[in-house]
Amino acid sequence: MSKYPFTEIEPKWQKYWEDNNSFRVEEDPSFPPEKRMYVLDMFPYPSGAGLHVGHPEGYTATDIYCRYLRMNGYNVLHPMGFDSFGLPAENYAIKTGTHPKATTEKNIEHFTKQIKSLGFSYDWSREIKTHTPEYYRWTQWIFLQLYKKGLAYESSAPINWCPSCLTGLANEEVNDGTCDRCGAQVEKKNIRQWILKITEYADKLLEGLDELDWPESIKAMQRNWIGRSTGADVKFKIEHLDKELTVYTTRPDTLFGATYMVLSPEHPLVDALTTDEHKSAVEDYLRAASLKSDLERTDLAKEKTGVFSGSYAINPVNEQKIPIWIADYVLISYGTGAIMAVPGHDERDWEFAKVFNLPIIEVLQGGNIDEAAFTGDGLHVNSGPLDGLGKQEAIDKITAWLEGQELGEAAVNYKLRDWIFSRQRYWGEPIPLVHCPDCGIVPVPEDQLPLTLPEVESYEPSGTGESPLARIEEWVNTSCPVCGKAAKRETNTMPQWAGSCWYYLRYLDPMNEGEFVNEAVQDYWMPVDLYVGGSEHAVLHLLYARFWHKVLFDLGVVKTSEPFERLINQGLITSFAYQRPNKSLVPVDEVEEKSETEFIEIATGESVIQTIAKMSKSLKNVINPDDIIAEFGADSMRLYEMFMGPLRVSKPWQTKGLTGVHRFLDRVWRAAEKPITSETAPESLEKVLHKTIKKVTHDTAELEFNTAISQMMIFINEQFKSEKLYKSVWERFLLLLAPYAPHIAEELWEKLGNEPSVTKRDWPVYDEAMTIENLVTVVIQVNGKLRDKIELARGTDKAEMEKLALASEKVKAHTSGKNIIKVIAVPDKLVNIVVK
RNA sequence: GCCGGCGUGGUGAAAUUGGUAGACACAGCAGACUCAAAAUCUGCCGGGGGCAACUCUGUAUCGGUUCAAGUCCGAUCGCCGGUACCA
The phi, psi pair for A833, rounded to 5°, reads -105, 120
Q: Is the distance from CB of A319 to CB of A237 less than 8 angstroms?
A: no
Residue closest to A490 by CA, chosen among A421, A408, A575 = A421
Nucleotide nearest to A614 (CA to C1'): B80
* Distance CA A528 to C1' B25 in A: 35
How far is it, in rounded angstroms, from Cα A106 to Cα A262? Answer: 55
Cα–Cα distances (Å) from A486 to A243, A441, A444, A686, in that order, read 44, 13, 14, 81
Does residue A104 lie within any of the structural domains? no
Report angle CA A717, A719, A721 to the nearest 5 degrees.
75
DSSP characters over A416-458: ---EE--BS-SSSPBP-EEEETTTEEEEPPGGG---PPPP-S-
Same domain, A634 and A751: yes
Same domain, A255 and A337: yes
In chain A the first and final C-alpha atoms are separated, in Å, by 58
Query: How many other C-beta atoms lie within 10 A of the C-beta of residue A276?
Result: 7
Same domain, A403 and A472: no
Give the H/E segment covering residue A709. Answer: helix A705-719
Q: Which residue is nearest to nucleotide B4 (CA to C1')?
A: A217
DSSP characters over A348-394: HHHHHHHHHT------B-SS-TTTS---S---B-S-GGGTT--HHHH
Q: Is the distance from CB of A67 to CB of A742 less than 8 angstroms?
A: yes
Q: Which residue is nearest to nucleotide B5 (CA to C1')?
A: A217
Nucleotide nearest to A219 (CA to C1'): B4
Q: Which residue is nearest to nucleotide B82 (CA to C1')?
A: A221
10 Å CB burial of residue A197 (0-12, 13-18, 19+) is middle
CATH of the domain at A646: 1.10.730.10
Q: Is the distance from CB of A81 to CB of A503 less than 8 angstroms?
A: yes
How far is it, in rounded angstroms, from Cα A451 to Cα A454? Answer: 9
10 Å CB burial of residue A563 (0-12, 13-18, 19+) is buried
10 Å CB burial of residue A834 (0-12, 13-18, 19+) is middle
* Distance CA A180 to C1' B59 in A: 40
Same domain, A271 and A189: no
Our separate counts of H helices and E strands in chain A read 26, 35
Which positions of strand B lie within 7 Å of protein CB atoms? 3-6, 10-16, 19-21, 23-27, 38-42, 55-57, 67-69, 80-87
Same domain, A276 and A337: yes
10 Å CB burial of residue A365 (0-12, 13-18, 19+) is middle
* Distance CA A217 to C1' B64 in A: 29
Does residue A824 lie within any of the structural domains? yes
Same domain, A356 and A447: no
Q: Which residue is nearest to nucleotide B24 (CA to C1')?
A: A710
* Residue at which a domain ends, from A489, A515, A537: A489
How far is it, in rounded angstroms, from Cα A181 to Cα A89? Answer: 13
Same domain, A714 and A826: no
* Distance CA A695 to C1' B29 in A: 33
Same domain, A728 and A756: yes
Q: Is the distance from CB of A9 to CB of A743 less than 8 angstroms?
A: yes
Helix (H, G, I), strand (E, B) or coil at A132: coil
Beta bridge partners of A323: A312
* Distance CA A494 to C1' B62 in A: 56
Dihedral angle, C-alpha A679, A685, A690, A692, nearest 10 °: -130
How far is it, in rounded angstroms, from Cα A56 to Cα A375? Answer: 48
Does residue A515 lie within any of the structural domains? no
- Its sign, for the CA torsion A127, A129, A130, A136, is negative
DSSP characters over A777-808: EEEEEETTEEEEEEEEETT--HHHHHHHHHH-
Structural domain that includes position A603 = 573-613
Report angle CA A659, A665, A669 to the nearest 5 degrees.
135
Mean pLDDT in runs of 10 for chain A (836 residues)? 81 96 96 96 93 92 97 97 92 88 96 96 97 97 96 83 75 71 75 92 94 91 93 93 92 95 93 93 89 61 85 93 94 92 93 93 90 88 92 93 94 92 91 94 94 87 77 91 93 93 97 94 96 90 96 96 94 83 74 69 77 79 90 95 93 90 94 90 92 95 95 94 91 96 96 90 93 86 86 85 84 80 87 86
In A236-360, alpha helices (H): 270-273, 279-291, 294-295, 347-356
Q: How confident is the model at residue A688, as a pLDDT?
A: 93
Q: How many residues does the structure list for chain A?
A: 836
Does residue A794 lie within any of the structural domains? yes
10 Å CB burial of residue A511 (0-12, 13-18, 19+) is exposed
| Distance of alpha carbon A334 from the chain centroid | 26
* Distance CA A658 to C1' B40 in A: 18
* Distance CA A421 to C1' B2 in A: 30
Q: Which residue is nearest to nucleotide B42 (CA to C1')?
A: A721
* Residue at which a domain ends, from A413, A444, A466: A413
DSSP characters over A384-404: GGGTT--HHHHHHHHHHHHHH
Nucleotide nearest to A787 (CA to C1'): B20
Number of folded domains in chain A? 5
Contacts of A701 (CB under 8 A, 6+ apart): A68
How far is it, in rounded angstroms, from Cα A272 to Cα A269? Answer: 5
Does residue A78 lie within any of the structural domains? no
Q: Is the distance from CB of A411 to CB of A230 less than 8 angstroms?
A: yes
How are beta strands A178-179 and A307-314 bridged, if at all? unpaired
Q: Which residue is nearest to nucleotide B12 (CA to C1')?
A: A644
10 Å CB burial of residue A159 (0-12, 13-18, 19+) is buried
Same domain, A456 and A597: no
What are A551-558's contacts with CB under 8 Å, separation 24+?
Answer: A551/A145, A551/A146, A551/A149, A551/A151, A551/A201, A552/A142, A552/A145, A552/A502, A552/A505, A554/A149, A555/A145, A555/A149, A557/A145, A557/A516, A558/A505, A558/A517, A558/A522, A558/A526
| Distance of alpha carbon A709 from the chain centroid | 27
Nucleotide nearest to A826 (CA to C1'): B19
Q: Is the distance from CB of A489 to CB of A430 less than 8 angstroms?
A: yes
Does residue A692 lie within any of the structural domains? yes
Nucleotide nearest to A646 (CA to C1'): B13
The phi, psi pair for A197, rounded to 5°, reads -80, 65
CATH of the domain at A827: 3.10.20.590
A617-629 in b/e form (b: 16+ CB < 10 A) is eebebbbebeebb
ipTM reported for the complex, 2 dp: 0.94
Same domain, A745 and A653: yes
A309-334 in b/e form (b: 16+ CB < 10 A) is bbbbbebbbeeeebbbbbbbbbebeb
* Distance CA A477 to C1' B65 in A: 78
* Distance CA A311 to C1' B45 in A: 80
The DSSP code for A472 is -
Q: Which residue is nearest to nucleotide B38 (CA to C1')?
A: A1
How far is it, in rounded angstroms, from Cα A756 to Cα A737? Answer: 15
How far is it, in rounded angstroms, from Cα A13 to Cα A25? Answer: 19
Cα–Cα distances (Å) from A774 to A577, A690, A780, A791, in that order, read 50, 15, 19, 10
Same domain, A398 and A355: yes
Query: How many other C-beta atoms lie within 10 A of the C-beta of residue A450?
Result: 19
Nucleotide nearest to A538 (CA to C1'): B82
Cα–Cα distances (Å) from A137 to A134, A140, A446, in that order, read 6, 5, 9
* Distance CA A832 to C1' B68 in A: 8
How far is it, in rounded angstroms, from Cα A188 to Cα A165? Answer: 14
Beta bridge partners of A193: A155
Q: Which residue is nearest to nucleotide B2 (CA to C1')?
A: A224
Same domain, A754 and A810: no
* Residue at which a domain ends, from A717, A738, A766: A766
Give the H/E segment covering residue A341. Answer: strand A338-341
| Distance of alpha carbon A527 from the chain centroid | 18
Nucleotide nearest to A1 (CA to C1'): B39
Q: How confident is the model at residue A1, as a pLDDT?
A: 42
Does residue A527 lie within any of the structural domains? no
Give the H/E segment covering residue A188. Answer: strand A187-190
Does residue A118 lie within any of the structural domains? no
Nucleotide nearest to A813 (CA to C1'): B54
Nucleotide nearest to A784 (CA to C1'): B68
How far is it, in rounded angstroms, from Cα A420 to Cα A495? Answer: 9
How are beta strands A775-782 and A785-793 bridged, if at all? antiparallel
* Distance CA A384 to C1' B30 in A: 86
Nucleotide nearest to A714 (CA to C1'): B24
